[in-house]
Structure 1
C-alpha cells in the first residue's frame, strides 16, 4: 500500500512551523489513541501513521530529506519493517501532548514529575446579596452583615485532631499525598498520579478526631463582618471580602465572601447610569406663566426656575446632582422632566376660566392667521 504524504496525514501545508506540526499531531493522536479506541485496528493504524509523520516532520534533518526526496529520503531511518515504536524519538513530547488526558507517561525517555502533599484544601467562597437605597449608592456606605460560615474549631485549633492526640503520616501514600496507578498502554507502561484517597492529598491522617468538629477542623458559626461600599456601585457589582468565606477543613485557608449589590427602586428617582431622572408635575398655569419650584435631590432640596411657556416633556439638567462614578471619574447629573398636569373634575369657576381662556386664544389665532397646530409647532421650535 502506497504511503500518504506526511503533510497530508497531518492536514498541513509544506510551510507549516513546528508549533503547527505539534498541534496537528496532538489533535490526531488524541482522536486515535489506542487507550481511547480499544480493539480498533483502524484507529491504531491511523495513530501509527500520524506518529510516523510527526517523527519525520518534527525533526529538522529528517524533514529536509523528506522535502527533497520524499519517503525514499527517510526510509532508511525505519528499517526493513517500516516505522516501529522503537524509532520514535520524541517520547519526551508525550507528557506535553497527552498529559491532560492520560496523565504522565513513563518509559522510552519519558519524564516524571513528582509532587509533594497538596495540603489542606481551601474553603468555599460565599456569595451574599446586599440591598442598598439610591441614597446609600450615591454617598457610599458602611454596612454590618451577619454570615453563617465554617470557622476554625477552637478546641483543636483547626487540626481536626483531639487535644490529646495528633496527626500521623499517611500509610497509604507515605506522606506524599499522592498515589500512582500503573497500567499498560500502546506505548508500554504508563503511570497516572492522583491525590491519595486516604488523606485527600494532605499526606497525613488523624489518629483520634476532635469531638467538637468530628475531625473536620471547623464548625459552623455566625459572624458579623463590616463591608465598606464605595459610592457609585450598581446592581450586579460585588465587593470581594478576602478570607471571609468558609475556612478549609483541617487548617485549610479560608475562601472569600463576595457581596453582590442589589439596588432598590426609588419612589422618586429613576437611575440612568450615573444620572438620575425626576419627573416633575406642574400645573398648566405654572408652565404658561413660569414659576420657581423646590426640587428634591439626593443631596437635599434646591430651587429651580421654570421659564414661562415651558412645554411638557422639557428636561432641565442639574449639574453634579446625580451619582458619582464608581471609579472616581466625575459625577452624574439630575434630569428634571416637566410633566404638565391637566386638571379633572373642574369646578364651575375653573370651567368658566378655561372657557374664557379658550375664547381668548381662539380669537388670537384668528387674528394671527394661525391654528392650534401651527402654534404648537411654533412653541416646540
Structure 2
C-alpha cells in the first residue's frame, strides 16, 4: 500500500528542509527499538527514515511530488531509482549519517542505541551521563533474591520544547561563528609544514546550532530534572562485588541526546552467624568435649533453614565439615555452594560438683595429646591441654 511520506513525518507538503529534519529527528528518536519496546517500533523507524531519505533530496522529492512513491521507486529524468530499506541497519546508517557523523552497520550496532554516541563528533547528539546509586540487602535476600523500589533524581527530555532547547514556536539557527560545523579549525604554518588544530566552537558549545529563544523550562538544555521511582530486581546469589546495569535509565543527553545507564551497586550486609566465602558459607559451631569425643547427630542452622549434621567421633577443634548444596546460589550458573561448619570445642566454666568429679576421673585415664608436628601451631595444642587440665 502506498504511503504518504509527508504524513509519515507529520509535516505539510510545503515544509522546508529545517522542518523535515526536525520532524525526522523527533520521530527517529521516538521509534528507535532501543528506546521503544512496541512490536512495530522497528518498522516505524524504517518508514520515517525512508520518508526522510526521499524528501531531503530535492530530485527525489520532486519525483515523489509528481508521481508518488512509484516515481522514486522507478527513478526518472536520470535519477537513480530508490529501493527503500530492507533492514534496520540500513535505516540506522541513514540516521547516523545525518546525526551521528558516520556509518555503522549491523556489526557496529551491538551495544545499544546510546553506545553509538560515545565518540561523538562536536555537532552530533551526545549520550547522557551514567547515574550511580547503591542499595543494601541482607544475606538472606542475597540468597533468595529481592526487589527494591528506588527513588532517583534523573534528567529527562523536556516536554515543552521536545528536547530541542528552543521555546515552542521558535527554531534553532545555524551558528554564525562555525557555520554549523560545531568546531573551529586553525591553520598554522611553520618550517616543518602546516599544522591544523581543531577545537569546539565556544559560541554554540560545539553543536553547530544555537537557539534564538531559550525554552523557559529547560533553559536551552533540552532536559529537566525529575524525581522517579524505579523497581529493580536483585538476582539470587549476588554479592557486594557485583552491580546491576540498567541500560537507558540514566540521564538523557543535551537537546535530544540518548540516555546513559543506571548503575546499581549492591552491598550485602554482614551476617551475625554466617561468613560468606564466594558461594560457600562458613558457620562456627561450638560443641562440648563429650560431643567431640563421642560424635553426635545434630541440627545446625543454614541460610535455607535447618540441616542435619553428623559430627564424627574424635573430631578436633578447628576441623571443618561440609554440607553440600547448603550455601549461596551461584549467580551465573546452576547449583549452590556449600555450607562449611568449623567445629570449636566449648570449655565450660563454673563446673558443678558432679561435672568436676567426672572430669577428674577422665583425667586419670586419658592419654596425653600428641606432640605438635612441623608446620602445626604449638599454641593450638597448648589450648587443647589447657582445656583438659583446667
Superposition TM-score, scaled by structure 2 size? 0.60
Aligned equivalents of 2:139 and 2:180: distance in 1? 56
The yes-or-no answer on 1:372 pairing with 2:368 is yes
| Aligned position for 1:139 | 144
- Counterparts of 1:229-244 in structure 2, within 5 Å, are 229-244=234-249
Give SS of 1:191's match. strand
Contact kept? 1:117, 1:175, Cα under 8 Å: no
Residue 160 (structure 2) pairs with residue 155 (structure 1): yes
Aligned to 2:341: 336
Are the structure 2 counterparts of residues 225 and 186 from structure 1 closer, same or farther at C-alpha, using a change threshold of 3 Å?
farther
Distance in 2, Cα, partners of 1:305 & 1:373: 24
Deviations 1:54-110 (A, max 9, x none): xxxxxxxxxxxxxxxxxxxxxxxxxxxxxxxxxxxxxxxxxxxxxxxxxxxxxxxxx
Please state whether the residue corresponding to 2:302 is helix, strand or coil. coil
User: Corresponding residue for 1:85?
Assistant: none
The 5 A counterparts of 1:34-49 are none
Matched residue SS, 2:303: coil
Show CA shifts across 1:134-174 (max 9, x none).
Answer: 22222333322221122222322222122232211222222
Q: What's the counterpart of residue 276 of structure 1?
A: 281
Partner of 2:227: 222
Equivalent position SS for 2:369: helix
* Correspondence 1:47-62 to 2 at 5 A: none
Corresponding residue of 1:317 = 322
Which of 271, 283, 292 aligns to 2:297? It is 292
Question: Contact 1:116/1:178 (CA < 8 Å) preserved in 2?
Answer: no
SS, match of residue 244 in structure 2 = strand
- Deviations, residues 29-57 of structure 1 (Å, cap 9, x unaligned): xxxxxxxxxxxxxxxxxxxxxxxxxxxxx
Q: CA deviation at 1:342?
A: 0.4
How far did residue 281 of structure 1 move?
0.9
Structure 1 CA distance for aligned equivalents of residues 162 and 135 of structure 2 = 32
Closer, same or farther: CA 295–205 of 1 in aligned 2, 3 Å: same
Cα contact 1:116–1:176 (8 A) shared by 2? no
Structure 2 runs not aligned, ≥5 long: 1-119, 374-380, 382-390
SS in 2 for 1:301: strand
Q: Deviations over 1:300-332 (max 9, x none)?
A: 111222233332222211111112332205421
Alignment match, 2:87: none
- Are the structure 2 counterparts of residues 343 and 159 from structure 1 closer, same or farther at C-alpha, using a change threshold of 3 Å? same
Aligned residue for 1:192? Answer: 197
**C-alpha displacement of 1:127:** 1.8
Could you tell me how far 1:375 is from its partner in structure 2?
9.9
Task: Tell me how far apart the structure 1 counterparts of residues 121 and 306 of structure 2 sit (CA, whole Å).
Answer: 66
Alignment of 1:51-130 (within 5 A): 118-130=123-135
Q: Per-residue deviation at 1:189?
A: 4.0
Deviation of 1:374 after TM superposition, in Å, equals 4.1
Query: CA separation of 1:171/1:116 partners in 2, compared to 1, >3 Å: closer, same or farther?
Result: farther
Structure 1 position 350 matched with structure 2 position 352:
no
Does structure 2 retain, via aligned residues, the 8 Å contact 1:156–1:163? yes
Quick one: distance in 2 between partners of 1:116 and 1:322? 51
Query: Is 1:175 aligned with 2:180?
Result: yes
Larger Rg belongs to: 1
**Which position in structure 2 is the counterpart of 1:211?**
216
Cα distance change of structure 1 residues 375 and 170 upon mapping to structure 2, 3 Å threshold = closer
Q: Matches of residues 249-264 of structure 1 in structure 2 within 5 Å?
A: 249-264=254-269
Q: Distance in 2 between matches of 1:168 and 1:219?
A: 22
Superposed displacement of residue 285, structure 1: 2.3
TM-score by length of 1: 0.61
How many residues in Structure 1 have an aligned counterpart in Structure 2?
255
Note if contact 1:155-1:163 (Cα within 8 Å) is conserved in structure 2.
yes
